Amino acid sequence: RVDSAVSAHLTKKFELGLFENPYVNEGDVLGVFDTPAQRSLARQIAAQSLVLLTNDGTLPLKKEVKTLAVLGPNADESRHLLGDYSYASMLEYMTSIAASGSPLYHVDQAALQPHCVPVPTILEALRQRTPKAKILYAPGCPVLKDDRSGFEEAVRLASQADVVVLVLGDRSGLLPDCSTGETRDSADLRLPGVQNELAQAILAVGKPTVIVLVNGRPLAISELVGKASAILEAWLPGEEGGSAIAAALFGDENPGGKLPITFPRHVGQLPLYYSQKPSGGKSYWYKDYVSVDSSPLFPFGHGLSYSRFDYSDLTVSKTECRADQVVDITVTIKNSSEVVGEEVVQLYTCDEFACLPRPVKELRGFIRLGLKPGQSRRVTFHLPVNMLAFCDQQMSLIVESGSIKVMVGASSADIRCESGFTITGPAKTPVAERIFHCPVNIE
């Protein structure tokens, strides 16, 4: 296998001519750097990665809004939209090492700084999108420091606004003033610094408040859920993140992303994940902890939309099948709203009775589906039975006969349709390898 992998790697290098010409022409770099096509792709990626965690109907904002307060430490910081290995982050890291007298780097920051690509902030993007609105801005507090001196100004501006956009989260990088990134681990999952206190002070004003999270890890923010009008998870969205966020807030982009991780209520719940064993994720036998519900704050696969999607007509092609066969699982998805949107349809299975405890759910396939208002599509997952293989007590990879529950839904906790099939044949069928790909067709 190693030889095969190396052979494929070297073959590709030969095809690209890298042995004959291993270096790029440095003079041509800027001609293929930060092009309009690349910016367009960055915008698309940022828009599709947004996850709408909560929404009481405040989003999308009305374009006729008169006064908008844009607050928070990440509202007007382009650097904070970038990850810890972005050019801007590494430039500041190398500069700090050079400043310390280390011979490792010699950095001419004045020469390198112009090569940082332009990154519009969220505040700048909102101003551009709503030129007629009066926009009030205050950072409120830093990302990480315990500085509350800006609270009063932020609260004052919030009280003057029709709607508040509060941008919180992290600064990603490798320096001590960063709150996420390599070497910047955290002992808890709270908002860094005094940001939670700022949020509580703003929410106490009573104005409709949309929280935008620009961050690099899941956050335990249960005290904000229910108080904020909406919460939009933006991650570290990159150079076009500001424009994508502004578009989503005003409905020109419809958030369709889903969580690839679980958000806990409290760090003490960890580890917390959707594919737990039947006895996992509980404080037996009462299920919940003494001080907190044992369920996640936001489950794996969660994400709302400005559209509504209905799931119906789930069919399974075989009621009985054997190892090495394929089961077709088909479901109808309909956009029952008046808004164009995208839904990530998710297929889960559960081996209900096995020789070893099996997860309560396992993601087997998913597809992102764009639908116009009123439009319906049939989605078919071609599930290989060998995808259900697992290692038994003897560490042999097997497919076991028995009943398999099939679940299709909008998240690991939002299952819309259920069915099942039975694996027949020997109690245990040895397989050479587990299949990891479930093809999907759309009609």
pLDDT of residue 115: 74
Show Cβ contacts of residue 232 under 8 Å, excluding neighbours closer than 6 positions: 50, 51, 52, 53, 59, 210, 211, 212, 213, 245, 248, 249, 255
| pLDDT tens per residue, range 66-102 | 999 999 999 999 999 999 999 999 988 888 888 887 7
Distances (CA, A) of 183 to 84, 123, 393: 10, 29, 38
pLDDT of residue 111: 76
pLDDT of residue 156: 98
| pLDDT tens per residue, range 392-425 | 999 999 999 999 999 999 999 999 999 999 999 9
pLDDT of residue 26: 84
| For residues 58-65, average pLDDT | 96
* The pLDDT of residue 278 is above 80: yes
pLDDT of residue 71: 98
| pLDDT tens per residue, range 180-220 | 999 999 999 999 999 999 999 999 999 999 999 999 999 99
Q: How many CB atoms neighbour CB 196 within 10 A?
A: 16
pLDDT of residue 102: 77
| pLDDT tens per residue, range 16-31 | 999 998 888 888 887 8
Task: Give the residue carrying structure tokens 């690349």.
Answer: 38
pLDDT of residue 208: 98
* The pLDDT of residue 313 is above 90: yes
pLDDT of residue 27: 85
Q: What torsion do the CA atoms of 212, 215, 219, 222 make, to the nearest 10 degrees?
A: -10
Confidence of residue 317 (pLDDT cuts 50, 70, 90): very high
Distance of CA 58 to the CA centre of its chain: 21
| For residues 259-284, average pLDDT | 89
Closest alpha carbon to 310 in 230, 364, 375? 375
